[in-house]
Amino acid sequence: MNVAIPKENLENETRVAATPGTVKELVKLGLNVFIESEAGFNAHFSDEAYINAGAAILDSKKDIFSKADIVLKVMPPTLDQIVLLQPKSTMVSFCQTTVDLDTVKALKEQTVTGFSMHLIPRTTLAQKMDALSSQANIAGYKAVLMAASKLGVYMPLLMTAAGTIRPAKVLVLGAGVAGLQAIATAKRLGSQVEAFDVRPVVKEQVESLGAKFIEVESKDDEGIGDGGYAKETSDDYKKRQQELIHDHISKSDVVVTTALIPGRPAPVLITNTMVDAMKPGSIIMDLASENGGNCELTKKDEIIVHNGVTIDGTSNIPGSMPVHASELYAKNITAFLAYMIKDGQLELDLNDEIISGALYTHLGEITHEPTAEAIKR
């Protein structure tokens, strides 16, 4: 079978879905690997390195897509790319299937089997395939460094001849993978860190990193959804949550927001009124900007200043670290593909939790129920 890795063509997308290291793994699986010329350029992987790993280089994007039985990408394919795909071929990439509806419909019409790395189940067996977590780790780490570079104060406590400099106060909203890495990074830089999450079960993880966990009193399962993700909370909880956040955000130098609900717009945690209460010079890093943002004022891929408060809506933060982001993503997607390859052929067990969980189009049908419902609306 032929596996193809095209060059990502979205603006500011620096990642690539295969590295020379994962190409070797794909070849060992009995697959023929084709790489579009300069696909790894922005991540500093040369065509020569891919050739030495066992891949063939193709100059034409048309050839890449038309030759492929399986295509591995970072971002979803464009409509122009989908029409180049062979019927009954397979596409594996990130895809927010309840949002990227035109992509889903085009793959269905082309009878392409579509797998989304967004939909990989959060199970022990699927851990090494969990691309969302590997990229969220990078986003949480880099967001704190980006905030520190913009901040007008030191992050750590400093004792100087001129006096003592207090540490910066960092508030992290959402203690998933990105949030926990943001906490760890801010602590390593010497900041005072607080964190909030609707899931009380993460309190121990937050405190183990040296941060203070702030919480709204509630039932233990109030904010816990499927797979350990957050879910929508009651109106009463939201009211008390806003009061709590307002109190803590007004004292913070840096706020990192990471709250997401699968298949839904990002919850608004920071209102305009809260931003108005923040100190001039403080910074909000909104890691949910791609899904609408956790702050009412966030604009995707824009940095705005409101009453002296900087709100950074940069969406593809992992793309600012293309080497490690590509290495981790390539390992995730290769592990997923290897799980389905038997004797050099793709074998789909539709009763398998991981395979069926990540599948959204197959043989001209939409197989992911929430996606099918979104298209009907």
Residues designated as active site? 122, 127, 130, 133, 229
User: Tokens 């063939």 identify what position?
Assistant: 56
**Half-sphere exposure (Cβ direction) of 239: Cα atoms closer than 13 Å:** 3
- Please, what is the Cα angle at 149 between 146 and 155, to 5 degrees? 100
Cβ atoms of 190 and 157 closer than 8 Å: yes
- What does the DSSP 8-state code read for residue 138? H
For the chain, give the secondary structure using H, E and C: CEEEECCCCCCCCCCCCCCHHHHHHHHHCCCEEEEECCCCHHHCCCHHHHHHHCCEEECCHHHHHHHCCEEECCCCCCHHHHCCCCCCCEEEECCCCCCCHHHHHHHHHCCCEEEEHHHCCCCCCCHHHCHHHHHHHHHHHHHHHHHHHHCCCCCCCEEECCEEECCCEEEEECCCHHHHHHHHHHHHCCCEEEEECCCHHHHHHHHHCCCEEECCCCCCCCCECHHHCECCCCHHHHHHHHHHHHHHHCCCCEEEECCCCCCCCCCCCECHHHHHHCCCCCEEEECCHHHCCCECCCCCCCEEEECCEEEECCCCHHHHCHHHHHHHHHHHHHHHHHHHEECCEECCCCCCHHHHHHEEEECCEECCHHHHHHHHC
